[in-house]
Amino acid sequence: MAFFFRFLSFLALVLAIAAGTIDAIASVASSSVVLTSVEEDWLAASPRSLPLVQGMVEHYIHPQVWQNGFAVIIRQPAFAVCLGLSLALWMIGYRRPRPRSLFA
């Protein structure tokens, strides 16, 4: 199970690096800081799925969960959200190193 979470952490880290690289290239091209949000990236990748997920969360959980939880998170810069997700998944999948005995 730890391997699964570490693998997901790796994928989130790759997404964070890709989002940061794209933001850096756009920032250099426009000579100003450009930070794309998760919402912008999500709409660019799959425009029909975001309203679908919003409707599901509001219907099955509660509308306040979308407004005060998910909507706040998806408005943040994509690289920061992916880095935070990567750290959280790595912490879940972390295993302590085995102690070495004195006589091994």
Q: In sequence order, what are the beta bridge partners of 37?
A: 77
- Percent of the chain residues topping a pLDDT of 70: 98
Do 2 and 95 form a contact (C-beta atoms < 8 A)?
yes
Predicted pLDDT at 104: 57
Arithmetic mean of pLDDT, 66-87: 95
Q: In sequence order, what are the beta bridge partners of 77?
A: 37
Please give the model's pTM, rounded to 2 decimal places: 0.84
pLDDT classification of 57: cutoffs 50, 70, 90? very high
**CB-neighbour burial class of residue 70 (10 A; exposed 0-12, middle 13-18, buried 19+):** middle
